[in-house]
Structure 1
Amino acid sequence: HLAKLMQEQYGIPFIQVSYFGIEDTAKALYDVAEFFKSPSIIQKTQDLVREEIRNVMWRIKELRNQTCGKLAAIYVGGAFKAFSLIKALRMLDIKTAVVGSQTGTFEDYNVLKSICDEGTVIVDDSNPGELSSFVIEKNVDLFIGGVKERPMAYKLGIGFVDHNHERKTALAGFKGMLNFCEEVAATVSSPVWKLIPRRKGV
């Protein structure tokens, strides 16, 4: 909103980008480079993206052995985060079974619908009871959310990955995506979830 206001009042252009996940980070860098219409900037950006992807993809491919076929639920503050998370999880061969946000707009949910797999439950400004019922129904292996969703996931016997602003591990950029993948793989493959029975409600 601030960027739009500055464009309207002062003529300062802006580009909406996300630096979470390999796909969105690469697109963000390409979009910025294209904005300046400089062949040298575009070439340097392409070289940088190629090198950064090469540095992390070998490890991400290894982690897929632990994550392939898993199901995830996502509930975050803004829908823009959910877009990037869905794409990032796909890189680990994880399908999103439930997704929602607290502040998404009608347009946001249309985008969510377009990038989700068929049968994905999409919720808006949900509550713990509703969320837990969908999580149980879809039998997810992983819940990604904020601090308020952590107790719910643990009570249901489901692995949880924190995705709030107070994290101590960076998730931005290519290295951030590797950090995210490492955490997701460690969470879904932890033996503790075999010892904790799944519950039918919170």
Structure 2
Amino acid sequence: MSEALKARIADVFNEPSCDKNQAKDATERKKGCSKPLVPGAAAGGCAFDGAMIALQPLTDVVHLVHGPLACAGNGWDGRHSASSGSRLFRTGFTTDMSEMDIVMGNGEKRLYRAIREAIARHNPPAVFVYATCVPAIIGDDIDAVCKHATEKLGTPCIPINAPGFAGSKNLGNKLGGEALFEHVIGTIEPEVVTGADINVLGEYNLSGEFWQVRPLLDRLGIRVHACITGDAKYRDVASCHRVGLNMMVCSTALINVARKMQEKYGVPYFEGSFYGIGDTSESLRMIARILVRRGVDASLIDRTEALIATEEARAWARIEPYRAALQGKKVLLYTGGVKSWSIVAALQEIGMEIVRTSVRKSTDEDKDRIKVLMGTDAHMVNTIPPREMYAMLKRGDADIMLSGGRSQFTALKAKTPWLDINQERHVAYAGYDGMVTLVAELHRSLTNPVWQELRRPAPWEVTDREAERTALLESAC
């Protein structure tokens, strides 16, 4: 690992806006938050994967992976981020390094040629170059190559130094954010500036989720300058430093970007959520209050309250037909980060009971919010082994499990309804409309007649039981 990368990782670990970091002494703070990765343990993602997740939703740039082909294939487009315009981000670019490139030291030349070819074919506003383990180990200087390519070709080439061995996926999120702040944000001045401009950080527009929220802000006259990075354009992100407010959707990912924008450009930030009716309303209120404090017309607060009242009434009216069937149903929520509390709040609104919620990748602030919502930390768990999870579901401790795709087979083996709540899903759950969709999906899963059929004994099992009963009766006689 290069000294520059070590210094950047140390800077990310020394994040003053992180509650967990503030509680440590200087020695512990330098050690960082992430546990070292075990060779071969790829589950959960690496730093390269995290950087790709954070930055790939930038839709109009070339995302060029410098490394073997497998790195590009393994980390490509796992989040279904939607675009309203360019689809260049859906095209895979890689230098496809071979053993010969490694032995002969041709990595940097191969990278420059790939950048030149990508620019010649697609004419993107920028090229993002991702380092992987192999070029990082052999010492390829992607910073120098990107600087040279920018000067020679006239297109910004952004080095993303987040090789997989550097650490966890969450570290990769932050290293991707560091690259944005260092090389992109502030490099272009916006053409239009209004007092009601905001950025939304840590929102990736999964399955078009943010498109369910943006119309609400538009109706209030609040302009989303950049969604970082869902459905984002390079120019919007490069000029996003003149807004009046940053809203953090997931603080574990890009808190470093929000904090540095506040220090350098004076842009305040807060953390909110667009999952659930109550949290969506509270986020809209917070945006309005902060913008009014920064000079926007005070009527924004009244208009926000009127919008909230209208949308809440409309959402509850659409949810009412499902309420009786979902009331009191028990949920095992196995996710992490901001969803560990935002989904809890959403489910409690419709009367469902949370038996467990995982707090993987959750901050101390996330955990405090769970305690406020649920009254105790007894329901919080870090991880649940598959065997224990299966036993819980088999016993009927939960009526449905909400998790990512990797846990679905445990629920299906236990013949328990399951709903995808993580990034691989194809259904949008954000905002008021998203909450109605979530309720409808929960109802559809819980009332699906297939579960009753699955739990019914098979014909041969019934025959075996009848034979045993007959044998017992005959022996008794």
TM-score of the superposition, structure 2-length normalised?
A: 0.39
* Structure 2 partner of 1:22: 277
What is the rounded CA distance, in whole Å, between the counterparts of 1:117 and 1:157 in structure 2?
30
Q: Deviations over 1:121-144 (max 9, x none)?
A: 321144323433444456211111
1:144 partner SS: strand
* Structure 2 partner of 1:71: 330
Q: Please say if residues 341 and 367 of structure 2, whose CA atoms lie closer than 8 Å, have aligned partners that are also in contact.
A: no
Runs of 5+ unmatched residues, structure 2: 1-254, 457-477
* C-alpha RMSD over aligned residues: 2.1
* Structure 2 partner of 1:12: 267
The one-letter code sitting in structure 2 at the alignment partner of 1:197 is R
1:181 partner SS: helix
Q: Structure 2 vs 1, CA of residues 109 and 90 (structure 1 numbering), >3 Å: closer, same or farther?
A: same
1:43 aligns to 2:302 (yes or no): yes
Q: Please say if residues 371 and 377 of structure 2, whose CA atoms lie closer than 8 Å, have aligned partners that are also in contact.
A: no
The one-letter code sitting in structure 1 at the alignment partner of 2:356 is V
Q: Please say if residues 153 and 159 of structure 1, whose CA atoms lie closer than 8 Å, have aligned partners that are also in contact.
A: yes
Q: Structure 2 vs 1, CA of residues 121 and 196 (structure 1 numbering), >3 Å: closer, same or farther?
A: farther
The one-letter code sitting in structure 2 at the alignment partner of 1:148 is R
Q: Please say if residues 73 and 99 of structure 1, whose CA atoms lie closer than 8 Å, have aligned partners that are also in contact.
A: yes
Which of 398, 406, 411 does residue 153 from structure 1 map onto?
Answer: 411
What is the rounded CA distance, in whole Å, between the counterparts of 2:424 and 2:298 in structure 1?
38
The one-letter code sitting in structure 2 at the alignment partner of 1:181 is V
2:405 partner SS: coil
Q: Please say if residues 97 and 138 of structure 1, whose CA atoms lie closer than 8 Å, have aligned partners that are also in contact.
A: no
Q: Once the 2 structures are TM-superposed, how far is the Cα of residue 100 of structure 1 from its aligned partner?
A: 0.5
Which of 80, 83, 103 does residue 361 from structure 2 map onto?
Answer: 103
Q: Please say if residues 98 and 135 of structure 1, whose CA atoms lie closer than 8 Å, have aligned partners that are also in contact.
A: no
Q: Deviations over 1:141-177 (max 9, x none)?
A: 1111111111111111111111122332221110011
* Structure 2 partner of 1:92: 350
Q: Once the 2 structures are TM-superposed, how far is the Cα of residue 117 of structure 1 from its aligned partner?
A: 5.5
1:175-186 mapped onto 2 (5 Å cutoff): 175-186=433-444
The one-letter code sitting in structure 2 at the alignment partner of 1:179 is T
Q: Which moved more, 1:129-138 or 1:59-68?
A: 129-138
Q: Once the 2 structures are TM-superposed, how far is the Cα of residue 107 of structure 1 from its aligned partner?
A: 4.2
Which of 382, 389, 397 does residue 124 from structure 1 map onto?
Answer: 382
Task: State the structure with bigger RCO (CA 8 A, min sep 6), 1 or 2.
Answer: 1
TM-score of the superposition, structure 1-length normalised?
A: 0.88
Which of 401, 416, 419 does residue 143 from structure 1 map onto?
Answer: 401
1:187 aligns to 2:445 (yes or no): yes
Give the greater-gyration-radius structure (CA): 2
Q: Please say if residues 96 and 117 of structure 1, whose CA atoms lie closer than 8 Å, have aligned partners that are also in contact.
A: no
What is the rounded CA distance, in whole Å, between the counterparts of 1:166 and 1:64 in structure 2?
27
Which of 61, 74, 78 does residue 320 from structure 2 map onto?
Answer: 61
Q: Please say if residues 340 and 362 of structure 2, whose CA atoms lie closer than 8 Å, have aligned partners that are also in contact.
A: no
Q: Once the 2 structures are TM-superposed, how far is the Cα of residue 10 of structure 1 from its aligned partner?
A: 3.0
What is the rounded CA distance, in whole Å, between the counterparts of 1:154 and 1:8 in structure 2?
49
1:170 aligns to 2:425 (yes or no): no
Q: Structure 2 vs 1, CA of residues 110 and 138 (structure 1 numbering), >3 Å: closer, same or farther?
A: farther
Q: Please say if residues 96 and 120 of structure 1, whose CA atoms lie closer than 8 Å, have aligned partners that are also in contact.
A: no
What is the rounded CA distance, in whole Å, between the counterparts of 2:361 and 2:390 in structure 1?
19
The one-letter code sitting in structure 2 at the alignment partner of 1:52 is E
Q: Which moved more, 1:6-15 or 1:141-150?
A: 6-15
Q: Please say if residues 97 and 119 of structure 1, whose CA atoms lie closer than 8 Å, have aligned partners that are also in contact.
A: no
The one-letter code sitting in structure 1 at the alignment partner of 2:390 is S
Q: Deviations over 1:63-113 (max 9, x none)?
A: 1121112100001131x2121111111122110011103212344334323
Q: Please say if residues 72 and 96 of structure 1, whose CA atoms lie closer than 8 Å, have aligned partners that are also in contact.
A: yes
What is the rounded CA distance, in whole Å, between the counterparts of 1:152 and 1:32 in structure 2?
40
Task: Give the total of aligned pairs.
Answer: 197
What is the rounded CA distance, in whole Å, between the counterparts of 1:32 and 1:187 in structure 2?
35
Q: Structure 2 vs 1, CA of residues 131 and 122 (structure 1 numbering), >3 Å: closer, same or farther?
A: farther
Q: Which moved more, 1:107-116 or 1:10-19?
A: 107-116
Question: Share of identical aligned residues, percent?
Answer: 28
Runs of 5+ unmatched residues, structure 1: none
The one-letter code sitting in structure 1 at the alignment partner of 2:340 is A
